[in-house]
């Protein structure tokens, strides 16, 4: 009985700040809920969503962010981690701190720095490209480059935690597996594919799922750097929820967007667990 009493605070926190908002959000999505009205409209919000070009574009942008960002984060983090692990303890700690710094820095400070880097007039990126005779580019103001610029920022802020986890996981792999493979003249690629990758599967699964969810929920970077522009070229579903709810006052419509996003994240997470979880050994 005492064990249940210890669980009560955490369970109450979950009910109040997780379960209730989720249920309330689904409930509101069936209403025309605005500052002036609250009337039941059934599935009209959901039907309107799939006829909304801005929502479809935002969903496309969100999926594109995930498809590009997640693989790059995994590959880059794993590559860096395998090289960091070979260093001495001081060097390992230094590089882990360097790569983890963006993950614990304020989003506002990060966007200020990247806003300066991308600035069309005095940004360092245009200065560097100008050395090669290229014309200045409005990286965040051009529909052709804005989303790519956001992806670069998102990647730099997403690799910190995976690198920390990979370095720790590689350190837990018994060295005699690798030494035995080297005695048998296995190539570095064979060692990675046959030993390291399978033994890192629990870490891979966690990083893939968490990075995917975090990328789907990308909002602050976009709000501070581009506000979803230009012409919705960087708008995501999360930014659309914010825009509909807090700028336009369409709370029911915004809730429907959130429900659709949650369903998409849930489906993709199930697929990831099914595909990657089958090879996980605990």
Residue pLDDT, tens place only, 35-55: 788 899 999 999 999 999 999
Residue 261 pLDDT > 90:
yes
Q: Of 44, 72, 36, 229, give the one whose Cα is nearest residue 157.
A: 72
Residue 282 pLDDT > 50:
no
Domain boundaries, the chain: 34-277
Q: Tokens 């989720």 — which residue?
A: 22
Is-contact 225 141, C-beta < 8 A?
no
Residue 149 pLDDT > 70:
yes
Q: 210 or 35, which is more confident?
A: 210
Reading the block at residue 131, the tokens are 């050395």
> 265: which residues sit within 8 A by CB, 6+ positions away?
212, 213, 216
CA distance 49 to 47: 5
pTM tops 0.95: no
CA distance 152 to 147: 9
Can you give the pLDDT at residue 78? 92
CATH number of 34-277: 1.10.3720.10
| pLDDT (tens digit per residue) in 46-81 | 999 999 999 999 999 999 999 999 999 999 999 999
* 3-state SS, residue 135: coil
Can you give the pLDDT at residue 64? 96
> 116: which residues sit within 8 A by CB, 6+ positions away?
122, 123, 124
Q: 68 or 171, which is more confident?
A: 68
CA distance 168 to 203: 10
Can you give the pLDDT at residue 192? 86
């Amino acid at each position: 009985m005492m064990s249940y009493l210890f669980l009560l605070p955490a369970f109450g926190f979950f009910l109040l700040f997780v379960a209730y908002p989720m249920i309330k959000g689904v409930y509101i999505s069936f209403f025309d809920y605005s500052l002036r009205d609250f009337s039941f409209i059934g599935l009209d919000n959901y039907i309107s969503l799939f006829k909304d070009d801005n929502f479809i574009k935002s969903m496309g942008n969100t999926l594109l962010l995930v498809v590009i960002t997640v693989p790059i984060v995994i590959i880059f983090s794993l590559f860096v981690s395998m090289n960091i692990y070979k260093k001495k303890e001081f060097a390992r700690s230094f590089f882990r701190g360097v790569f983890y710094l963006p993950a614990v820095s304020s989003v506002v400070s990060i966007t200020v720095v990247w806003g300066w880097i991308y600035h069309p007039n005095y940004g360092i990126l245009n200065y560097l490209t100008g050395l090669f005779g290229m014309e200045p580019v409005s990286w965040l103001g051009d529909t052709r480059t804005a989303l790519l610029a956001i992806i670069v920022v998102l990647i730099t802020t997403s690799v910190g935690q995976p690198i920390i986890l990979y370095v720790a996981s590689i350190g837990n792999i018994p060295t005699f597996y690798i030494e035995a493979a080297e005695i048998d003249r296995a190539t570095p690629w064979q060692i990675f594919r046959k030993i390291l990758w399978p033994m890192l599967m629990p870490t891979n699964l966690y990083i893939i799922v968490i990075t995917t969810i975090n990328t789907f929920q990308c909002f602050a970077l976009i709000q501070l750097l581009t506000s979803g522009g230009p012409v919705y070229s960087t708008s995501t579903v999360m930014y659309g929820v914010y825009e509909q709810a807090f700028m336009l006052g369409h709370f029911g419509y915004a809730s429907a967007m959130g429900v659709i996003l949650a369903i998409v994240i849930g489906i993709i997470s199930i697929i990831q667990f099914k595909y990657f979880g089958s090879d996980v050994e605990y």
